[in-house]
Structure 1
Amino acid sequence: MADRGRVLQLSTMVPPARFGGAESVVQAFAEQLCNAGFSVDNAGLTARGAAEPGTPIPNLYWPFDGHRRGAAARVGWHAIDALTLRGRSAVERVVDDFDPQVLVTHNLRGWGLAPWVVAQQRGIPLVHVVHDYGLLCNNSTLWHNGTECGPRQTACRLRASRAVSRWPGGLLVGVSEAVLAEHRRRRFGTADPCAVVHPVAAATAVGPRLPRSTAGVPTTFGYLGRLTAEKGVGELVEAISSIDATLIVAGEGDRSEVRALRARASDQVQWWGWTEPAKLFAAIDVLVVPSLWREPFGLVVVEAARAGVPVLVADQPGLLEAVRSSGALYRSYPANDAVALRNSMSESLQSYRQEPAQKSDVDIVDLVAGRIVGAGS
């Protein structure tokens, strides 16, 4: 197959690093582009002195080691990330080595906005994949201290304004229409072409589990993902204590937050830590995705659908897009409503419904090819 062009993907972390869905999307996009005849290189960051390959992070510390730093250190980290270009020389080295015809940026936490500056300086067509709210919010979630962050959040306002001013223009690709709409609402990328690519190909391949009952009230629920406040795990742990059922929690998080969650939990909760999806799905009747924040998509919904596991989801727009794009058997409830969550967990599986899976109109191959053609015209 002829070489259709060179594509460099930059992200905070790239496979085989394991942290969240973004790394899976980077890998899936790379595979799709390679299969279509593109040459692809993925470049990510790593902790200083780490054994694995990658660019040492050009910031104060590595933020993905499970340790929560003090307020002063966090403020300094975000100031360097949002307001300086300390990653510029590292980006230039990677670009010099690979000489890409298209630059695809993903989560840029740690790189800062240097990749955009280098792309603009060198005239490289740019595609930015919007996975979350990292361009608008220091937490990447638009969620602070138990509530959605608003326009008066000073730290986030600085990050968002710098992202708007540094963005050189290009193609914005959202993992959902919901996440793109939130960026447009906050004045990012309003003049740029946009596309939605639901990243169903990035979901872990999970074969159908052994058949379980499709009727009656579920007795075993599961949660799979990061153990953070905005994910709604605390509300789920409290809800299970009011019904006659078991909850299996599979995932990792900040050590202090996990300790606090476990202290609140009843004996009905089992804590499995990081777990392969297939193992959890084989043990549960329903997967619960109780997100309090505006979850952009939800690969775990797609994985559950592939395994034939019903899902109970908060009605966040991005989660509903994940349901529709995967054809999951599901039930939804009003987000941030603890009573509705508890009541929904007591409902029969016969109340769950299913719709045909809806595919994205375009994929990353179409979009990258269009950027190369556009640059050459």
Structure 2
Amino acid sequence: MNVLFLSSLYAPNIGGGAEIVLQRTVEGLHQRGMNVCVLTTGAEPGLVEDQVKGVKVYRAGLLNTYWHFSDQRPNALARLSWHVRDRYNMGMRAYVRQVMRMENIGLVVCHNLGGWSVAVWDEISKAGVPIVQVLHDMYLLCPGSLMFKKRQCCGGPCTLCSTLRQGHAERSAQVDAVVGVSHFLLDRLQNARFFRNASAHVIYNASPKVEEVQRPHPQGRLADSEPLRFGYLGTLSDHKGVRWMIEQFKRLPFNATLQIAGRGQQDYEREIRQLAEADENIHFVGYQSPESFYRQIDVALVPSLWNEPFGMVAVEACAHSVPVIASHRGGLPEIIREGINGLLCDPDEPESLALAMLRLYRQPELRRQLAAQARASVAPLLDMDRMLDGYQQLFSQVYQNKGTFHESQPASEPL
């Protein structure tokens, strides 16, 4: 069986955690002897063949107003024009058809569809090839993929989102199996009446085996008189709760430091640096590897305001025996469990974040207990073989059932 992985981006073009997990999956299955290749978008016109660590990668020139992998954020009108075309990008179907024929594809695994649009489902279904859709975000409900606006999670699609996603749920009936990277994400799409004919699965993302690092005090620092060291590692953006985190940290009535590692769009990064500049205990440290960063802090903060689909950063913190304070949003409560490996806070109760930080300051024994339990609590999520086994078994099952699914005809193409 020849398997095609289709995604918006692929290495070395990494937009976020979804692309990192996809690369790990593809390379892991390739090393197991599976015949895999990748089809992704690119900036150059036409179809270009590439190789990434022994895996064949096809890069298709995006047929839209601009390529979406860029440091510069286009203006609102340009973004709207892009999303209108991305509702159903008919032109991208030809690339899918061409690669499926060249590689004699028996199964297509779709990941992020930005740039491709749901038009690819129609093309794959037309060829009689089964489809597995892996969900990483809210793209199928919201063009921006976040369902987050004005510092609030959206209760449902707004009028514009509904218009740009008209017919998507009906088209998803062509998908044979759907995978959510969390129960939260899978339930959210199924409740919106997506994937009514698909078998449903949750396969958690896995981080490569994180070696157990030798922390100075594996169960928490002994010198509790020192400043308590909080840390944030990730994208600097509003939906990640960075502004909320800084505001709450500045209210703490005890001696503490906050290290902020990561990068964001220039305008936003300038804003939050100005917000923090009067506090000498807040430090922006730029890019940091998890191995280096988690040696330097006592408590990790994951203060997401949006519904985080999974939260690999929380897994990696626990893997380094660092307890986590995380938002009770999205898939994060499936990783961080109150009193086991961290504490949960609620963005709807802004002071809850500062109160959680204060609790871990006042209760050093609790902090040490959480640190001691953190790594074991995420052990299954550090097992790449577990994730690869799950996907491999699912692909075999779907392929063996080939021909029994596509009973419904693809919906008519939009004008």
Equivalents in 2 of 1:231, 1:47: separation in Å?
28
Q: Are the aligned partners of 1:227 and 1:233 in contact in 2 as well (CA < 8 Å)?
A: yes
- How far off is 1:368 after superposition? 0.5
How does 1:154-165 map onto structure 2 within 5 Å? Answer: 154-165=159-170
Residue 365 of structure 1, aligned match among 369, 378, 392: 392
Q: Are the aligned partners of 1:301 and 1:322 in contact in 2 as well (CA < 8 Å)?
A: yes
How does 1:1-377 map onto structure 2 within 5 Å? Answer: 5-48=1-44, 53=50, 54-151=59-156, 153-167=158-172, 168-200=174-206, 202=207, 205=210, 207-212=212-217, 214=220, 216=224, 219-243=228-252, 244-265=255-276, 266-323=279-336, 329-348=341-360, 349-352=364-367, 353=370, 354=373, 356-357=377-378, 359=380, 363-375=390-402
Which stretch shows the higher mean deviation, 13-22 or 338-347? 13-22
- How far off is 1:57 after superposition? 2.0
Which residue number in structure 1 is paired with residue 408 of structure 2? none
Q: For the structure 1 residues 47 and 222, does the alpha-carbon distance in structure 2 shift closer, same or farther, using more than 3 Å as the test? A: farther
Equivalents in 2 of 1:102, 1:137: separation in Å?
27
- How far off is 1:115 after superposition? 2.1
Q: Give, as a single letter, the amino acid of the residue that structure 1 aligns with 2:42.
A: T
Matched residue of 1:44: which SS? strand
Matched residue of 2:393: which SS? helix
Equivalents in 1 of 2:180, 2:27: separation in Å?
19
- How far off is 1:65 after superposition? 1.8
Equivalents in 2 of 1:238, 1:221: separation in Å?
14
Q: For the structure 1 residues 152 and 357, does the alpha-carbon distance in structure 2 shift closer, same or farther, using more than 3 Å as the test? A: closer
Q: How many pairs were matched up?
A: 370
Equivalents in 2 of 1:68, 1:274: separation in Å?
21
Q: Give, as a single letter, the amino acid of the residue that structure 1 aligns with 2:259.
A: I
Equivalents in 1 of 2:88, 2:399: separation in Å?
30
- How far off is 1:238 after superposition? 1.1
Q: For the structure 1 residues 358 and 316, does the alpha-carbon distance in structure 2 shift closer, same or farther, using more than 3 Å as the test? A: farther
- What TM-score, normalized by structure 2, do the two folds share? 0.82
Equivalents in 2 of 1:346, 1:49: separation in Å?
54
Equivalents in 2 of 1:84, 1:205: separation in Å?
40
Q: Percent identity?
A: 31
Q: Are the aligned partners of 1:298 and 1:318 in contact in 2 as well (CA < 8 Å)?
A: yes
Q: Give, as a single letter, the amino acid of the residue that structure 1 aligns with 2:105.
A: P
CA RMSD of aligned residues (A): 2.6
- How far off is 1:357 after superposition? 4.4
Q: Are the aligned partners of 2:318 and 2:378 in contact in 1 as well (CA < 8 Å)?
A: no
Q: For the structure 1 residues 211 and 106, does the alpha-carbon distance in structure 2 shift closer, same or farther, using more than 3 Å as the test? A: same
Could you list the per-position Cα deviations for residues 19-52 of structure 1 after superposition, in whole angstroms to 9, with x for gaps in the alignment? 2111122122213423443111122222348999
Task: List runs of 5+ in structure 1 lacking aligned partners.
Answer: none
Task: List runs of 5+ in structure 2 lacking aligned partners.
Answer: 51-58, 381-385, 405-415
Q: For the structure 1 residues 46 and 356, does the alpha-carbon distance in structure 2 shift closer, same or farther, using more than 3 Å as the test? A: same
Runs of 4+ in 1 over 6 A off after TM superposition: 49-52
Q: Give, as a single letter, the amino acid of the residue that structure 2 aligns with 1:261.
A: I
- How far off is 1:193 after superposition? 1.3
Which of these two proteins has the greater Rg computed from alpha carbons? 2
Q: Give, as a single letter, the amino acid of the residue that structure 1 aligns with 2:342.
A: Y
